[in-house]
Amino acid sequence: MNIRMIIIFYAYHILIHVPQVSLAFESISQSISLVDDGNTLVSKGGTYELGFFTPGNSNKRYLGIWYKKIPIQTVVWVANRLNPINDSSGTLTLNNGNLVLTQNNETVVWSTTSNSYNKPENPVALLLDSGNLVILDEKEENKELYLWQSFDYPTDTFLPEMKFGLDFRTGINRRLTAWKSPDDPSPSDFSFGMVPHNYPDAYMMKGDKIFYRSGPWNGLHSSGSPQVKPNPIYDYRFVYNKDELYYTYSLKNSSAITRLVLNATAYVRYRYIWIESAKRWEIYTSVPLDLCDSYKLCGAYSSCVISDSPVCQCMEGFKPKSLQAWYSMDWSKGCVRNKALRCEDNKKDGFVKMSGVKVPDTTYSWLDQTLGLEECRVKCLENCSCMAYANSDVRGEGSGCALWFGDLIDIRQFAAGGQDLYVRMDASELGHVNEGHKKKGVLVAVTVSLVMAMLSGILMLGWCYRHKSQNNVKDKSDFSIKGHLKSGIQVDDGDLPVFNLSTIAKATNNFTFSNKIGEGGFGPVYRGILIDGVEIAVKRLSKNSGQGLNEFKNEVKLIAKLQHRNLVKLLGCCLDEEEIILVYEYMPNSSLDSFIFADKLKSELLNWSKRFDIICGIARGLVYLHQDSRLRIIHRDLKASNVLLDKELNPKISDFGMARIFGGDQNEENTRRIVGTYGYMAPEYAIGGLFSVKSDVFSFGVLLMEIISGKRSRGYYNQNQSHNLISYAWKLWKEGRPIKLIDKSIGETCFISQILHCIHVSLLCVQQNPEDRPIMSCVILMLVSEFELAEPKQPGFFMKDSSEADSSTNKQMLSSTNEVTMTLLEAR
Ligand SMILES: *[C@@H]1O[C@H](CO)[C@@H](O)[C@H](O)[C@H]1NC(C)=O
Ligand SMILES: *[C@@H]1O[C@H](CO)[C@@H](O)[C@H](O)[C@H]1NC(C)=O
Ligand SMILES: *[C@@H]1O[C@H](CO)[C@@H](O)[C@H](O)[C@H]1NC(C)=O
Ligand SMILES: *[C@@H]1O[C@H](CO)[C@@H](O)[C@H](O)[C@H]1NC(C)=O
Ligand SMILES: *[C@@H]1O[C@H](CO)[C@@H](O)[C@H](O)[C@H]1NC(C)=O
């Protein structure tokens, strides 16, 4: 082979006297150096070019390699990424077999360290058509014996023919380190490299934390990337022997252009492919792929299933270590065995096969590529701390043996392409655990009974639905005051502070308009300050019911006994012949509607976690009203403006028990009141006046949709105005794109599966038939747990605007404000 120093002058450089003559060298030798005035070193076939460049908006100079034929400068390697040159005085020379980059011909900013013990006789530096910058000795027979090569020192890009991994003989570990930014090629803390565990794996690191694990090679692909398949563009190969451990790929047709790049802005490793016709790079694949690729997301003995909600699922035979953490979506504590292993007698142990998985982290692993599956099983059984085994090569019938010791972590389950893992289990657990991963039933039952136990006394899931709405009565005497007095609840005088009207008048500046903070269905609300500085909210109700004062008083006292952290606290009352005044704790953050329907800035204050807390808080408040309090209150006007937020944005339901204070319906002759707000009212209530805990559940479902979507239930959400929020949500659900419902202000994509789960729950709450709707304690269970939800049935779309309500029957609006609460009177 004749590699000689050839200097090619481009013809036009000579003919036209350009002041700076750009020279394209084919090699660098002792007597030829590369200076930063347009000189470059070009590979023989003209594929790659080495020279000086300035990245992005930087003003620094770097020596790097890029594609010569691609119009968008795409740098694949940088020499002096740690030491940029601040001017154009860089010079690259070959000195005793090493490349040396200097500034002003004096300061060395970068150099190579050739692995040659003998001084090379005739060293030369070449850029190969693979993009590899190499130094070799021309006198050396074997031209592939490089003194140094850039492929051993990759930056952020992994080119075809490169080896990603280790050379045990030289100690070189070829790993990728992302640029800090497109303007700054210096190494960021985001890197990706092979790790020589007994059963080798590859880790993507963010600082000293593992960010993503590719999974060990299983003969076909990395265990975590079953999507990688033979393809028309490149071949790939994994090599693991006593000398080397690496992954590499090569082009099937050298005219294709592809590269793998680690990127610290997006925190991914992209595979790009150059699309010549469009003259642009296209992302072909990337890892990590989704939430389930987050390292150790689900903790020990649990696997991540991206199609499930929540994504983390205990492995069969295991249960959450901390129920509380688990149901608050913190899965990091992982799962523990239902039944401990009895190691002293290993005959008592067996294995359960999990199919379709990415095998666990291999930090504590053992590998023997000569053993078969049965020998592997025996090997694992012999050692108490062996927790799982699998074939190390899944090709064909499978071969090789990998063992795992200690906790099994970072497992995920794939819909297709995963492999089998055999997990150690107490023999008694083997019988009732099904093969494979179709174990939902068992898991659900376990989970549910655990949670149910927590929810004291509720024992069956079916109960969520079978539970008859026993309060599904016409709006009448059950809820009358008389009914309660008859039922013998004692009202203890002195329980409830009674305020003088003058005190309240003083506190509210005599009910001055500027103190008014709202107008509910039952009357205006004022902010007030008592003499001792305590802030209060004062609700002024006009008393236009036939009830007597004492009955009112008794009712108020009962309501005041309801205390729960998700209910606004009633501090006292003030009773007069003409009016009732209720005094509440003051909520500085106003109501939920002022956040979720507000401008972008305010709605962004409520990130998803906060919204989820609010949702759960409201649900807990309702459970208390519905079943935990002794009164069994049905709210009947649950809506965003009736949910107040305290300093920490904790939700507190207000206006509960108002229907009671107003006496509901006392007897047959009376007019029947329908209290509620259109857009939130369950169809059976709005149309038939039939109310129950299930009509509150309906309102809760609507509220849930509003919190998720940031849209009012009463608006219209498509061009031809045929959909309200419920029907719009239903339409999106049916079309399989409920994701479109999510408020843009919730920027956090990592919660998507939880949000979708909540949309599912909201649709279950607004189903047409009250009996199909879950009761509130089950709603909480659904919100925080992982069991599979029923497919929602058609929701009740009932929504009428006020004009329709007016004209349809002789219904009449008593009060209507901006946040329209309507009390309809209907003569019967
Ligand atoms: C560039 O760097 C050199 C060496 O570090 C220094 O002496 C010189 O002042 C710098 N020039 C500019 C313009 O910053
Ligand atoms: C450095 O030395 C080379 C070779 O002697 C010369 O061509 C180049 O102009 C020098 N550069 C500077 C900045 O002095
Ligand atoms: C990282 O990827 C983003 C797009 O996701 C791109 O804009 C950016 O330039 C990339 N960074 C580098 C250093 O190439
Ligand atoms: C390689 O690709 C080019 C362009 O797509 C095509 O013309 C050529 O025939 C291919 N070569 C081989 C060996 O497949
Ligand atoms: C079990 O395996 C672990 C990890 O390889 C090893 O440290 C331990 O000595 C083994 N125990 C027995 C009894 O072989």
If we measure between CA atoms, which residue out of 661, 647, 497, 501 comes closest to residue 584?
497
The token pair that represents 102 in the structure block:
């200097």
Task: Inform me whether the pLDDT recorded for 311 exceeds 60.
Answer: yes
Helix 752-765 vs helix 776-784: crossing angle, to nearest 10: 160
Which residues face 366 on adjacent strands?
A: 403
**Higher model confidence: residue 391 or residue 722?**
391
Residue limits of CATH 3.30.200.20 in the chain: 455-585
Pairing mode, strands 812-813 and 34-35: unpaired
Interatomic CA distance for residues 519 and 525, integer angstroms: 6
Q: How far is the CA of 287 from the centre of ligand 3 (A)?
A: 14
pLDDT recorded at residue 156: 98
The two three-digit tokens of residue 768, written as one number: 């047409």
- pLDDT tier at 348 (50, 70, 90 boundaries)? confident
> What pLDDT does residue 79 have?
97
Nearest CA to ligand 4 atom 9: 253
Q: Distance from the CA of 736 to the center of ligand 5, in angstroms?
A: 50
69-83, 395-409, 494-508: which has the minimum mean pLDDT?
A: 494-508
Are residues 366 and 405 in contact, defined by beta-carbon separation less than 8 angstroms?
yes
Task: Look at 113-127, 461-475, 625-639, 708-722 and tell me which has the smallest mean pLDDT.
Answer: 461-475
| Positive or negative: CA dihedral 319, 323, 326, 331 | negative
Contact 86 CB / ligand 1 (< 6 Å): yes
Q: How are strands ordered across the β-sheet holding 133-137?
A: 27-29, 123-127, 133-137, 148-149
Distance from residue 254's CA to the centre of ligand 4 (Å): 8
Instruction: Tell me: cis bond preceding 770? Omega within 30 of 0 counts.
Output: no
692 within ligand 2 shell (Cβ under 6 A): no
Identify which of 683, 679, 503, 525 has the alpha carbon closest to the alpha carbon of residue 590. 525
How much distance in Å is there from the Cα of 71 to the middle of ligand 2?
Answer: 30
Q: Which ligand is nearest to the CA of 269?
A: 3
| Residue closest by Cα to atom 6 of ligand 4 | 255
pLDDT of 415:
83
pLDDT exceeds cutoff 50 at 466: no
Q: Among this protein's residues, is 183 annotated catalytic?
A: no
Q: How far is the CA of 382 from the centre of ligand 5 (A)?
A: 9
Q: Which of 23, 39, 105 to mutate to test the pocket of ligand 2 (most atoms within 8 A of CB)?
A: 105
Task: Give me the pLDDT at residue 116, please.
Answer: 67
Q: Whose CA is nearest to atom 13 of ligand 3?
A: 182
Element (H, E) at 826: strand 822-826
Determine whether the shortest distance from the Cβ of 104 to ligand 1 is under 6 A. Answer: no
Amino acid at site 433: V
Distance of CA 364 from the midpoint of ligand 5 (Å): 11
Q: What is the pLDDT of residues 8-58, one digit of tens each?
A: 333 333 333 334 456 778 888 887 889 998 899 999 999 999 999 999 999
Closest ligand by atom to 256 CA: 4
- CATH number for 293-438: choose from 2.60.120.260, 3.40.50.300, 2.30.30.100, 3.50.4.10: 3.50.4.10
Within 13 Å and on the Cβ side, how many CA atoms surround 321? Answer: 12
Name which residue sits closest to atom 12 of ligand 2, judged by CA. Answer: 104
User: Using a 6 Å cutoff on CB, does residue 190 contact ligand 3?
Assistant: no
CATH fold of 154-289 reads Agglutinin, subunit A (2.90.10)
What is the model's pLDDT at position 10?
33
Quick count: other Cβ atoms within 10 Å of Cβ 379? Answer: 16
The yes-or-no verdict on residue 588 having pLDDT over 90 is no
SS3 track for 292-337: HHCCCCCCECEEEECCCCCCEEECCCEEECCHHHHHCCCCCCCEEE
Least trusted range by pLDDT, from 46-55, 139-148, 381-390, 461-470: 461-470
Ligand 5 centre and the CA of 383: distance in Å?
Answer: 6
Distance CA 109, CA 395 (A): 49
CA of 343 to the centre of ligand 5 (A): 13
In the DSSP assignment, the letter for residue 634 is -
CATH topology of domain 1-153: Agglutinin, subunit A (2.90.10)
88 lines ligand 2 (CB under 6 A): no
Residue 19 CA to ligand 2 center (angstroms) comes to 17
∠ CA 587-588-592, rounded to 5°: 70
Say which ligand is closest to the CA of 383. 5
Whole-number Å distance between alpha carbons of 723 and 797: 9
**What is the CA(182)–ligand 3 centre distance, in A?**
6
Q: Give the integer Cα–Cα distance in Å for 28 and 93.
A: 7
Protein residues whose CB sits closer than 6 Å to any atom of ligand 4: 253, 255
> Which pLDDT score is estimated for 478?
28
Report the distance separating Cα 160 and Cα 45, nearest Å.
16
**What does 721-777 look like in DSSP terms, one character per residue?**
S---HHHHHHHHHHTT-GGGGS-TT---GGGHHHHHHHHHHHHHHTBSSGGGSPPHH
Residue with tokens 């649990």: 302
From the CA of 94, how far away is ligand 1's center (Å)? 24
Q: Is the CB of 263 under 6 A from ligand 3?
A: yes
Query: CATH 3.50.4.10: which residues of the chain?
Result: 293-438
Neighbours of 408 (CB within 10 A): 26
Looking at the chain, the domain(s) classified CATH 1.10.510.10 span 593-820
Q: Report the C-alpha gap between 695 and 770 in whole angstroms.
A: 7
Give a three-class secondary structure readout of 465-532: HHCCCCCCEECCHHHCHHHHHHCCCCCCCCCCCECCHHHHHHHCCCCCHHHEEEEECCEEEEEEECCC
Ligand 4 centroid – CA 252 distance (Å)? 9
Q: What is the pLDDT of residue 554?
A: 75
Geometric angle at alpha carbon 105, from 101 and 106, rounded to 5°: 95
CA angle 379, 243, 204 (to 5 degrees): 75
Atom of ligand 2 nearest to the CA of 89: 13
Distance CA(135)–CA(214), nearest Å, equals 33
| Residue at token pair 């092979």 | 194
Residue type, 724: N
Given a contact cutoff of 8 angstroms between Cβ atoms, the answer to whether 380 and 389 are in contact is yes
Q: Does domain 593-820 have CATH number 1.10.510.10?
A: yes
The whole-number pLDDT of residue 430 equals 78
Ligand nearest to the CA of 28: 2
Question: Residue 369 above 90 pLDDT?
Answer: yes
Which atom of ligand 1 is closest in space to residue 86's alpha carbon? Answer: 1
Specify the pLDDT at position 151.
97
| Ligand 3 close to Cβ of residue 182 (< 6 A) | yes
Q: Which two tokens stand for residue 281?
A: 């790079």
DSSP string, 532-593: TS-EEEEEEEE--SS--HHHHHHHHHHHHT---TTBPPEEEEEE-SSEEEEEEE--TT-BTH
Closest residue CA from atom 10 of ligand 2: 105
pLDDT value for 818: 31
Predicted pLDDT of residue 605: 84
Give burial (CB, 10 Å; 0-12/13-18/19+) of 341: middle
Q: 47 with 131: CB under 8 angstroms?
A: yes
Token duo for residue 303: 């696997």
What's the alpha-carbon Rg for the chain, to the nearest Å? 36
pLDDT tier, 721 (very low <50, low <70, confident <90, very high otherwise): low
Going by CA atoms, what residue is nearest to atom 9 of ligand 3?
182
Tokens 């849209």 -> residue: 711
**Quick check: pTM over 0.75?**
no
- Name the residue with the closest Cα to ligand 3, atom 12: 182
For residue 769 and ligand 2, the question of a CB distance below 6 A is answered with no
Ligand nearest to the CA of 254: 4
Residue 60 has which token pair?
């620094």
Q: How far is CA 470 from CA 92, 299, 467, 774, 776, in A?
A: 87, 42, 8, 13, 14
Give the separation between CA 335 and CA 340, rounded to whole angstroms. 12
Indicate the top mutation candidate among 83, 86, 101 to test ligand 1's pocket, ranked by most ligand atoms within 8 A of CB: 86
Q: What percent of the chain has pLDDT over 70?
A: 81
Determine which residue's CA is closest to atom 10 belonging to ligand 5: 383
Q: Helices 608-623 and 752-765 meet at what angle, rounded to 10?
A: 30
Cβ of 39 less than 6 Å from ligand 2: no
Task: Tell me whether strands 312-314 and 302-305 are parallel, antiparallel or unpaired.
Answer: antiparallel
- Spatial separation of the C-alpha atoms in residues 74 and 65, rounded to whole Å: 8
Class of domain 455-585: alpha beta
Q: pLDDT tens across 401-419, in order?
A: 999 999 999 999 998 889 9
* Chain center to CA of 767: 28
The pLDDT of residue 546 is 56
Residue 308 tokens read as 């499930």
Angstrom distance (rounded) from CA 7 to CA 16? 18
Cβ(783)–Cβ(758) below 8 Å: yes
Indicate if ligand 3 lies below 6 Å from the C-beta of 688.
Answer: no
Instruction: Please give the pLDDT value at position 655.
Output: 84
Q: How far is CA 337 from CA 422, 424, 791, 814, in A?
A: 15, 10, 31, 61
Mean pLDDT of 647-659: 86
Sign of CA dihedral 717, 722, 726, 732: negative
- Considering 201, 293, 637, 665, which one is annotated as catalytic? 637
**Residues 527 and 590 sit within 8 Å (Cβ to Cβ):** no
Strand partners, 95: 98
Nearest ligand to the C-alpha atom of residue 384: 5
In which residue are the tokens 């819909």 written? 415
Residue closest by Cα to atom 3 of ligand 5: 385
Ligand 5 binding pocket mutation candidate from 346, 385, 387 (most atoms within 8 A of CB): 385
Residues with CB under 6 A from ligand 5: 366, 383, 385, 405
Ligand nearest to the CA of 386: 5
* Ligand 2 atom at minimum distance from 33 CA: 4
First to last CA, the chain: 107
Q: Identify the pLDDT of residue 803.
A: 33
Inter-CA distances, 468 with 75, 190, 460, 531, Å:
68, 56, 14, 50
Crossing angle, helix 725-734 and helix 752-765, to 10 degrees?
120
Select from 186, 265, 281 the residue to mutate for testing ligand 3; criterion: most ligand atoms less than 8 Å from CB. 265
Q: Which atom of ligand 4 is closest in space to residue 256's alpha carbon?
A: 2
The phi and psi torsions of 235 (rounded to 5 degrees) equal -100, 155
